[in-house]
A = this chain, B = another copy of it.
């Protein structure tokens, strides 16, 4: 069958296109070409057409893509046509900021439905109207709110345990901000965001440093 696995790099570009299409639609633009999308996204028009082609033919030759219709298609492909329920574990500095960000920026098809921390001092506190619950009940609570996405913002030492509990609670994908390689089964998808690693790798592109024996680094 034509059921080929869509590469992750393609999936990661879809929300970029979706955002642009929603902006265009909000501005009253009804049709857009792949070259205009290229300008706005930074990806080549060929790549954009090929990305869409993974899921069928969405455009009209000689014309382009209908912004609103294509946005709806992408939403559906990404599973964002329904609200996605997410829970966040670890209400420290970063966790609190992420929670406020999610609550404060609606219209992205993501809904934060649970906030958890293991610190008794934090449990019961509110963050933008959401009460922090005890992480002791994480699995059951995640189950009860039907969360499918988990955000891990706890220290390294707790990350694996939290991931295990989230998965026990029915969570299928995890956005992991902890510097730990989570061990999960094949039915759970993990994406890591490690800010310190990002900064450290950026340091390579600073050009005032000494030249290593392989030659000077190149910027972009």
Residues of A within 8 A of B (CB): 1-6, 11-12, 14-16, 18-19, 40-42, 54-56, 76-80, 82, 84, 86, 92-94, 96-98, 100-101, 104-105, 108-110, 148-149, 151, 172-173, 175, 179, 181, 186-191, 193, 195-210, 212-220
Interfacial chain B residues near A82, Cβ < 8 Å: 209
Which of B84, B105, B186, B207 makes the CB contact (< 8 A) with A172?
B207
Asked whether B12 lies within 8 Å of A197 as measured between CB atoms, the reply is yes
Asked whether B101 lies within 8 Å of A195 as measured between CB atoms, the reply is yes
Question: A170: nearest residue on chain B (CB-CB)?
Answer: B208
Write 27 A-B pairs (CB below 8 A) sorted by A numbering.
Answer: A3-B214, A12-B201, A15-B201, A19-B197, A55-B213, A56-B213, A76-B210, A76-B212, A79-B203, A79-B204, A79-B206, A80-B203, A94-B97, A97-B97, A105-B196, A110-B199, A110-B203, A148-B206, A148-B208, A149-B199, A149-B206, A172-B205, A172-B219, A175-B202, A189-B205, A189-B219, A193-B195
Question: A98: nearest residue on chain B (CB-CB)?
Answer: B195
Interfacial chain B residues near A101, Cβ < 8 Å: 93-94, 195
Given contacts A3-B215, A97-B93, A200-B18, contact A220 B108 (CB under 8 A): no
Looking at A54, A172, A206, A210, which has the most chain B CB atoms within 10 Å of its CB? A206
Question: A40: nearest residue on chain B (CB-CB)?
Answer: B181
Asked whether B110 lies within 8 Å of A218 as measured between CB atoms, the reply is no
Q: How many Å lie between the Cα of A13 and that of B31 in the bound state?
A: 41
Asked whether B97 lies within 8 Å of A172 as measured between CB atoms, the reply is no
Asked whether A149 lies within 8 Å of B203 as measured between CB atoms, the reply is yes
Interfacial chain B residues near A3, Cβ < 8 Å: 214-216
Asked whether B218 lies within 8 Å of A5 as measured between CB atoms, the reply is yes
A22 to chain B, nearest CB (A): 11
